[in-house]
Structure 1
Amino acid sequence: MSREIKFRAWDKVRKEMLQIQKHSFKTNKSIPYGWNIEHEFYDLMQYTGLKDINGKEIYEGDILEGGYLNPLTGEFISRKYIVEYEEGCFKCKLIGKSPYGDTWINFIHEKSRVIGNVYENSNLLEE
């Protein structure tokens, strides 16, 4: 199984997200699309190879909103997750308390939507 390898980076100076055209892991410098010089970024995020319910690409650092229907009450319970790369795989960390721990991104990606990322939408990290 193969997937497209793509990256994006948060430019801390300009405060904007940039799509990366080329990256050197040796020098840790990148060339964003539309630029002709290398730039050093501190927060490089990889594409997971998955898309949300609306077809939007999911990257590390994205905030997903998903949920489930409570079988006892019939109430929809909404949850927010942060996409992280840990222990060799992409995971979704629940924002807030959970007795169940982390969720595998493969389990929720088609049932959730990207609502922002940790850099541009830090207000979404609040419970």
Structure 2
Amino acid sequence: MIKFRAYLKGTRIIVDVQEINYKYEDIVYESGKYKEVADFKDIIILQSTGLKDKNGVVIYEGDVVKTKYGEHGRHIGVVTFRPGEFISKGVKQYEGYVEKLDGVFEIIGNKYEHPHLLEE
């Protein structure tokens, strides 16, 4: 089963999506002990890659990851989907580098809650 998270633009938090309703263009997520609904226009949906980092944490689109074992050596990038695969697209001094998510990666944050990880 494919898992999703959503970045809630108004509150700037990421939540686990319990249900996606394409007919009404909204999602359902749990907030404490209550279920909440958010419109597509107020969120960014993030898909799970189905992979885990070196600490056993599931990797999602938008996560900032680092590796020491990539094709280009050390690499820090943002997880992005391109047709047929998830990649780590380099940031900062690694801009221009692209790594397939087939090595040992570690999540160091995500681009929404930790935008400083993308800055020079």
TM range (shorter): 0.7 to 0.9
Instruction: Specify which of 85, 88, 91 is matched with residue 89 of structure 1.
Output: 85
Q: Are 1:10 and 2:7 matched, yes or no?
A: yes
Structure 1 residue 26: Cα displacement: 3.2
CA displacement, residues 26-66 of structure 1 (integer Å, 9 cap, x when unaligned): 33200002443421143000111000000000000000011
For residue 123 of structure 1, give the secondary structure of its aligned residue in structure 2.
helix
Which consecutive residues of structure 2, in runs of 5 or more, have no partner in the other structure?
none
Deviations 1:56-113 (A, max 9, x none): 00000000011249xxxxxxx53211101122321111114569742111x22xx120
What is the Cα deviation at residue 17 of structure 1?
A: 0.8
Give 1 or 2 for the bigger CA radius of gyration.
1
Moved over 6 A (4+): none
Change (3 A) 1:81 1:99: closer
TM-score under structure 1 length normalisation: 0.78
The total of aligned residue pairs comes to 114
Out of 54, 67, 80, the residue aligned to residue 76 of structure 2 is 80
Match of 1:60 in 2: 61
Structure 1, unpaired ranges of 5+: 70-76
Q: Which has the higher strand share?
A: 2
Cα separation, partners in 2 of 1:92 and 1:16, compared to 1, 3 Å: same
For 2:57 and 2:82, locate their aligned partners in 1 and report how far apart those are by CA, in whole Å: 22
How large is the RMSD of aligned CA atoms in angstroms?
A: 2.3
Which residue of 2 is the match for residue 104 of structure 1? Answer: 100
1:124 equivalent to 2:120? Answer no
